Amino acid sequence: MELLNVAILSSKPLFLSMILLFSLLIWLKLAKRKTLNLPPSPPRLPIIGNIHQLGKLPHRSLRDLCRKYGSLLLLQLGYNPTVVVSSADIVKEIVKNHDIVFSNRPRTTAVDILFYGCKDMAFAPYGEYWRQVKKISVVELFSHRRVHSFQFVRDEEVELLINKIRSASLKGHNFGKLAKRLMILFTSFCIGDMFPYLRWLDVVTGYIPSLKAVNEEFDAFFDQVLQEHRALESDDQVSDRKDFVSIIMQLQKDGMYELDLTQDNIKAILLDMFVGGTDTSTTTTEWMMAELLKHPNAMKKVQEEVKNVVGNKSKVDMEDISKMEYLKCVIKETLRLHPVAPLLAPRRTSASVNLGDYHIPSDTTVLINAWAIQRDPKWWEKPEEFIPERFENSSIDFKGQDFQLIPFGFGRKGCPGMPFGVASVEYVMANLLYWFDWKLPAGQNANNLDMTELYGLTVNKKIPLHVFPISHASF
C-alpha cells in the first residue's frame, strides 16, 4: 500500500500537468474559434458532439436546427467538424466563388472499400484523375447523343416492367438485392469515421468484414459482366447498340484518354453507374405515383396529356415525351418535395475559405440540405404542397443553375447522370400512365396515404406503395 501511495503521489505532478495542458489546448481552440468567426453551433455533448441531434431523419432535424441557429450551421460529429448549408444563396456563393475549394469528398471507410480506393467518379479526389473520369462520363456516357442511343435499353426495361405488372409478379433481381445491401452498409454508422482511434471496433462489430464481403460479390459480378462483353466483341450485330460496359471497354482498348483504365478503374466507374441508377429512379417513380394518387386532379391531367400525345400508337416514343410538358412539371415537383438524396453527397473543403460572414476551415465536411432549400418559403409559395403547376411557364430547372432546385447537386461535383436518370423516369412514368389506370386497395383513402420517410442513401417511403393496375390499353 505504501508503495502504491508513493507511486500515486509521484505521478500527481505529471497528471496535473496533463490536465493543465489539455485545458490550455481547449482554451486556445475556443479563442481561435472566436477570432475566426465560425458559423453558429448548437450545444454539444462531450466526445460525440452533435451526433445525437441528427435523429432518424437528419434532413428534417438539420432543417429545424438551421431555423434556430441560421442557414449556415457548424456541428461537431464525433471527430469531424461539419458545416450544414440550408440556403440557396449560400449554395450560389459556393458555386460562383469557391467551387474548387468545395470539390472534394470525405474519404470514408465504406467508400474506400466499396469503390476500389475511390477510383470511381463520385468520390475520387478533385484532380487530374477525376477530370479524366468526369470527361468520360459527360462526353462518352451521358451526352445527349448517348442518352438517345440508350433508348433500346429503356425500351427493353419498360417492356419487361409492363409485362411484369400485367402478370402481377414484381420480383427483384439478384443485382438489385446486392445493391440494396451496399446502400444499407454505405449509410450505416461507422465508428472509425467518427472516432478514428476506435476504428478497430468496426472489425469487431463485423462492419468492415461485411463491406469486404459485398465488395467481393460486386467484384465477381463485374468480372462476369466484363467477360460476357469481351465474348461479344467480335459480334458485329451489337456494334450499334452499345451499353455503358461496351463503351468503357472500347475506351480502354482505344486509349483515347490520358488515363490508363485498369480493371479496378472500370469496375469503380461501373459501380457508380449501376448502383446510382438502381434505387434512384424507382424511388422517384414511387414518390411520384404516391403524390398523383393523393392529388387525383393532377393524375387526371397528366394521364390525359400522355394519352393525347401518344394517341393510338402501340408504344410511347421519346419524341412523344418531349411534348409532355405537364409530365415534366410533375417530375420537377416530385424531385422538389422528395429529392432522392435530401442531403447531397458530402463535400470537404480543400482550403480555408470565407462563406457569407463566416470562416470555414480547411478539411471541414460540408452537407448541403437540398430538401430544406427546396422547401424554403423564400423561394416557393406553399412549399409543403404538391403543385406541379408552379413550373408551368417557368424557366426553373434542376440542372444546377437554379440553386433553389438542386436534387442532382451543382457545380463540378454535380451528378453527370442527370440526363439519363430523368429520361428514364420520364419514359417509365409515361408508359405506366399510358397503359394503366392506378387504384389503391379497397378501403384505403388517398387523402390518408402514409407519406412517412425512411432515411438511407436514398429516402424511400417507409411503407411501400401498394397499388392495383387496371389495364386500359390493348395493343
Domain holding 413, by residue range, is 38-470
Asked whether residue 435 is assigned to any structural domain, the reply reads yes
Give percent of the chain above pLDDT 90. Answer: 52
- Asked whether the beta carbons of 428 and 288 are under 8 A apart, the reply is no
pLDDT digits (tens, 9 = 90+) for 19-51: 555 445 445 555 555 578 999 999 999 999 999
Give Cβ neighbours of residue 261 (< 8 Å, ≥ 6 apart): 248, 251, 252
Asked if residue 119 belongs to a domain, the reply is yes
Instruction: Please indicate, yes or no, if residue 101 is contained in any of the structural domains.
Output: yes
> Do the strands 358-360 and 453-454 form a parallel or antiparallel pair, or are they unpaired?
unpaired
Residue 7 pLDDT level (bands cut at 50, 70, 90): very low
Q: What percent of the chain has pLDDT over 70?
A: 82
CATH number, position 293: 1.10.630.10
Encode burial over 176-198: b for 16+ CB neighbours within 10 A, e otherwise.
Answer: eebbbebbebbeeebbbbbeeee
* Residue the block writes with cell 388517398: 446
Q: Is the pLDDT of residue 168 over 60?
A: no
**Calpha distance 218→267 (Å, rounded):** 9
246, part of any domain: yes
How buried is residue 392: exposed, middle or buried, by Cβ count under 10 Å (0-12/13-18/19+)? exposed
pLDDT at 166: 45
- Mean pLDDT value of segment 194-208: 93
**What total number of domains does the chain contain?**
1
Give the mean model confidence (pLDDT) for residues 262-281.
81
Please spell the DSSP secondary structure of 328-386, one letter per residue: HHHHHHHHHHS-SSSBPPPEE-SS-EEETTEEE-TT-EEEEBHHHHTT-TTT-SSTTS-
Q: Which helix (H) or strand (E) segment is 251 a member of?
A: helix 244-254
In the predicted model, what is the mean pLDDT of residues 235-253? 69
Model confidence, pTM = 0.84
What pLDDT sits at residue 5?
42
Residue 8 lies in a domain: no
Q: pLDDT (tens digit, 9 = 90+) per residue, 346-374?
A: 999 999 999 989 999 999 999 999 999 99
Residue 143 has pLDDT above 90, yes or no: no
Asked if the structure places residue 475 within a domain, the reply is no
419 occurs within a structural domain: yes
Residue 438 host element (H or E): strand 436-439
Q: Is 66 assigned a ligand-binding role in the annotation?
A: no
Q: How far is CA 214 from CA 209, 224, 264, 330, in A?
A: 9, 15, 15, 36
In a domain, residue 355? The reply is yes
Q: In sequence order, which residues have a C-beta less than 8 Å from that of residue 3 and are 6 or more positions away?
A: none
Alpha-carbon gap, residue 432 to 159, rounded angstroms? 11
Number of neighbours of residue 18 by Cβ within 10 angstroms? 10
- What are the pLDDT digits (tens) for 401-429? 999 999 999 998 888 888 878 888 998 89
In this prediction, residue 33 carries a pLDDT of: 53
